[in-house]
Amino acid sequence: MQSCSVEKKLAMEFLQTRDSISLYLIRPEFVFKTNLKSWQIEDFEQMTVSELDSALFTNSLFLKEIDDTLLLNRFFGSFSSTLLRLNLQPYEQENLHGFLSSEKTSYQVALVQLELEEDVYPYRAEEVFYDSVLFYEDFLLNTVNINSWFDISKLNEPTASNNLLYTSHYVMDQIEGRFVNNLFTREVKYKYNLFPMKTENVYALALVLGKAYAGYVFDYLMNEYIFRNFSPGKKPQVFFHFDAETGKVYPAGEERFTFLKE
């Protein structure tokens, strides 16, 4: 409890000085696109790797429709504006001179890789009737994952350690339904409505993730401050999240970057 109190105190110190931080945002040159549905390609086992990659891309439902520039613009527009609302100063390539001339504490935030993965999610709706009889209906729901790798480094500090950070979120078909039991015939049917995802849902997810990952970056910087200023010889036991809506600091749980070993 005492350790947690120290961490929160340091988090509050960081919040008081966060407007002294500038960030240089680096975009990836392109978006990696991977279709995992190789089983849908006829005779895929006889293809070369390049032939299979081409066939998978051509037969994808969403990947071939996604424009890299539009997707990145959606993400970085939301990302940058959210960082500003968190009282951090973001810069991109067109404002490099402003970043270099800034006297604030400087960090480089690079989205080193962004990957779209198209796949299916096996979903089963099931319910027990007549005390012991299991009725079920199986579906393959289309899904697109957005996988992101970040590198955040503090500039002009030789002792600063870099961390490769990872996170992933997805969008998928939506299904709503229920089992209906005919009391006269004892027939059970699953009645449902399927709401197929669209390409625009992927762009919409990029917009949402831009906002969410700006929060992840803020939390990373806050926790780095806690780590650097913690009691000598000890390490913080909790990774904290700052809730901009309430102004409160609390454990982040799973809503954060995953640290990867380079």
Q: What's the pLDDT tens digit per position in 160-211? A: 667 899 999 999 999 999 999 998 898 999 999 999 999 999 999 999 999 9
Domain assignment present for residue 93? The answer is yes
Distance CA 9, CA 13 (A): 6
Reported confidence tier of residue 159, pLDDT bands at 50, 70, 90? low
Question: Considering the domain boundaries, does residue 58 fall inside one?
Answer: no
Structure tokens at 184: 């006269």
- Number of structural domains the chain divides into: 1
Instruction: Decide if 202 contacts 143 (C-beta within 8 A).
Output: no
The model carries a pTM of 0.90
For the segment 210-246, what is each residue's pLDDT rounded down to a tens digit? 999 999 999 999 999 999 888 777 788 889 999 999 9
Establish if 158 belongs to a structural domain. Answer: yes
CA distance 207 to 81: 11
Q: Is residue 75 included in any domain, yes or no?
A: yes
Any domain includes 60 = no
Structural domain harbouring 203:
2-31+66-117+144-169+198-260
Q: Is residue 159 part of a domain?
A: yes
Nearest alpha carbon to residue 124 among 141, 138, 140, 143: 138
What pLDDT sits at residue 222? 96
Residue-level pLDDT at 190: 96
What is the spatial distance between Cα 230 and Cα 3, in angstroms, rounded to a whole number? Answer: 9
Position 48 in a domain: no
- Cβ distance 150 to 214 under 8 Å? no
Identify the helix (H) or strand (E) that includes residue 98.
helix 96-101
With respect to residue 88, please indicate whether it lies within any of the assigned structural domains: yes
- The pLDDT tens digits of the residues spanning 121-131 come to 999 999 999 88
